[in-house]
Amino acid sequence: MTASLGPEEWAAIWLSLQVALVATVCALPLAVWVAYVLARKQFPGRQLLNGLVHLPLVLPPVVTGYLLLIIFGQQGPLGAFLHSTFGVSLAFRWTGAALAAAIMAFPLMVRAIRLGIEAVDPGLEAAAATLGASRTRIFMSVTLPLVLPGVLAGTVLGFAKALGEFGATITFVAAIPGQTQTIPSAIYGLLQVPGSEPAVVRLVIVSVVLAMGALLVSEWLAHRMARRVAA
Amino acid sequence: MLDIHIQKQLGHFRLDIGVQAPAGVTAIFGPSGSGKTSVVNAVAGLMTPDQGRISVGEAVLLDTSRGQNLPVHKRRVGYVFQDARLFPHMTVQRNLEYGGMHDAERVISVLGLQELLDRRPAGLSGGERQRVALGRALMCDPQILLMDEPLAALDAARKAEILPYIERLRDDVKIPILYVTHDVSEVARLATTLVVMDQGQVATAGPVDEVLSQPRAVPLVGVRAAGAVIMTKVAGRLLDDGLTELAFSGGRLLMPGNLGGLGQVIRVRIPAQDVILSREAPQGLSALNVLPVTICGIEDGRGPGVAVGLLAGNDRLLARVTRRSLQRMELAVGQEIYAIIKATAVGPEDVGH
């Protein structure tokens, strides 16, 4: 058994990181907005939005992947539109893997960010207003600094989830080496081949290290947030 | 002069008040749920009334008939909240400077904030937090100061630590201060004007000594809390006995403790339930303070108690006796009798400067 990673394994690792990074970065602004709306605004359809956001968390990932395939596949309504208008195709591409990862990570990001927003006392924003601060200044100087640790925690959690996404990804974009084969789908593929246990073990170790690292960072940020907001 | 006329329907609760607050402390007093905080929130712009007008001197903050409603951050109100609301992620210094640097050096020295500047709100005591909150509100150069039960969350010792600062403030800054409280001793110490609220309306209002000495204020203020406030001058000190002699238009009073230097004007609250009435000048009594008074009003409320208004010189006092005593002594308006006040009835919390 060799300890070093082969080129195909490296490809899977880099692809996983790329997919997870793009998924998290693209989902973040929307997640912050949805979390803010859910935490602070009362409007009809609030529960519906909340349910919709959480759906990927409770649906079997295969179902989510299949729905993505139907909607974003070459023949799907959005897929056909994107392909004919922008020349972008998602199915069986790494971009599709990023979309699947983003959708699966989204509920976790929204939850963490929402907790961060709910921990900020709206009374502090009212106090800032009485001291002459405009809405923009209040958001930049009071709300954002207090919410930031929650946003970071949500980002890390979403990144870890995107890194490990399997079910929806493999259903939507399959596992094409170098194109859509991420770490989890590479491990799954290797398990089907006799004698590839060393490669499996190496990728498993990489997975554990990445996930553990993300969790530790997330915990540390959550701890900081709790200390900072406790007044 | 701060002028407030507002109406607001909040579910089944209706707020409908008119309040005028001159420079000095205007206390808004009343039981919880009477709408006190809604009034200050309306002035700050944190609550928008259905109808009304709020103005400070020439500046109009709200006029619903003209569709005027100045946003919160343009109203120049200093607001001290009950829970301080310091920004937890900033040092005391940055909290203070958030709204401006008006008179910073003096505010910091008067409130004793110098050694707190580098600390964070989480490490401050309740009293220190309120001092910082007060300083922060003052440094934004407000045209009105709003204080919503700033001492309610503090114990007696912390209260005693902050009250002198607020007294000094009242005498130093020439802006109207709206002070919400449900503690009558704070009213007695601080207020120049008193507005008593009940169920969203003004029950009675006026200069604090007049309002508190009305017999009909007793049920509004609460039987235990009722009591007149009189302005007195320190006329002498009995060092051996640890007493201070206070002079006012109705005579002289001896009160325990060192209450101030000779000639200093201090205000004293005399609880109505600690004033005893006698038809003849009493003999052989341990009480030190006996004042000749004239009955100027009798308020026969519900329950066994009766409030009796007394005129001592030009000042008014208030006594609370049972209906049974009133009938037995055959007391009536215009009668000249004696009021007996036990020196120890007046606690340190009832004495202000």
Residue to mutate among B72, B124, B149, with most A CBs inside 10 A, is B72
Of B71, B121, B140, the CB nearest to A231: B121
Cβ of B100 under 8 Å from any chain A Cβ?
yes
- Determine the average pLDDT of the residues in A185-213: 90
pLDDT of residue A226: 66
**Residues in chain B within 8 Å Cβ distance of A229:** 88
At residue A213, φ and ψ (nearest 5 deg) are -60, -45
Chain B (121-180) residues lying within 8 Å, Cβ to Cβ, of chain A: 121-122, 136-137, 140, 146
Q: What angle do CA B178, B183, B187 make, to 5 degrees?
A: 50
- Look up residue B244 and give its two tokens: 């201070």
B330-340, pLDDT tens digit by residue?
Answer: 999 999 999 99
- pLDDT at position B37 over 90: yes
pLDDT of residue A231: 42
Q: Give the model's confidence band at B259: pLDDT under 50 very low, under 70 low, under 90 confident, else very high.
A: confident
Q: Give the model's confidence band at B343: pLDDT under 50 very low, under 70 low, under 90 confident, else very high.
A: confident
* Closest by CA position to B293, among listed B331, B330, B257, B236: B331
- Determine the average pLDDT of the residues in B213-242: 86
Q: How far apart are CA B243 and CA B344, in angstroms?
A: 10
Q: How many CB pairs under 8 A join A and B?
A: 65
DSSP-assigned letter for residue A93: S
Percentage of residues in chain B having pLDDT higher than 90: 57
Of A126, A132, A231, the CB nearest to B140: A132
pLDDT of residue A230: 52
Chain A nearest CA to B85, separation (Å): 6
CA atoms within 13 A on the CB side of B291: 30
pLDDT of residue B149: 93
- Determine the average pLDDT of the residues in B65-74: 95
Q: What angle do CA A26, A51, A98 make, to 5 degrees?
A: 25
* Predicted structure pTM score: 0.78
**Residues in chain B within 8 Å Cβ distance of A228:** 88-89
* Closest by CA position to B149, among listed B121, B108, B190, B120: B190
ipTM field? 0.84
Q: Which residues of A touch B (CB under 8 A)?
A: 121, 123-124, 126-134, 141-142, 145-146, 227-231
B74-84, pLDDT tens digit by residue?
Answer: 999 999 999 99
CB pair distance less than 8 Å for B72 and A146: no
Chain B (40-99) residues lying within 8 Å, Cβ to Cβ, of chain A: 44-46, 71-79, 81, 83, 85-89, 98-99
**Residues in chain B within 8 Å Cβ distance of A130:** 44-46, 72-73, 75, 77-79, 99, 137, 146
CB pair distance less than 8 Å for B100 and A132: yes
**Residues in chain A within 8 Å Cβ distance of B122:** 227, 230-231
* Closest by CA position to A111, among listed A24, A39, A161, A47: A39
- Closest-CA residue of B relative to A121 is B85
- pLDDT at position A38 over 70: yes
- Determine the average pLDDT of the residues in B86-98: 95
**Residues in chain A within 8 Å Cβ distance of B45:** 129-130
Q: How far apart are CA B127 and CA B222, in angstroms?
A: 27
Residue to mutate among B85, B107, B125, B136, with most A CBs inside 10 A, is B85
CB pair distance less than 8 Å for A142 and B44: no
- Look up residue A230 and give its two tokens: 């406790």
- Determine the average pLDDT of the residues in A205-212: 90
A14-29, pLDDT tens digit by residue?
Answer: 999 999 999 999 999 9
pLDDT of residue A16: 93
- pLDDT at position B13 over 90: yes
CB pair distance less than 8 Å for A131 and B140: yes
Q: Is residue A117 within 8 Å of residue A35, measured between CB atoms?
A: yes
Q: How far apart are CA B214 and CA B110, in angstroms?
A: 36
- Determine the average pLDDT of the residues in B218-226: 83
More confident residue, A74 or B322: B322
pLDDT of residue B273: 87
Percentage of residues in chain A having pLDDT higher than 70: 95
Q: How far apart are CA B80 and CA B325, in angstroms?
A: 45
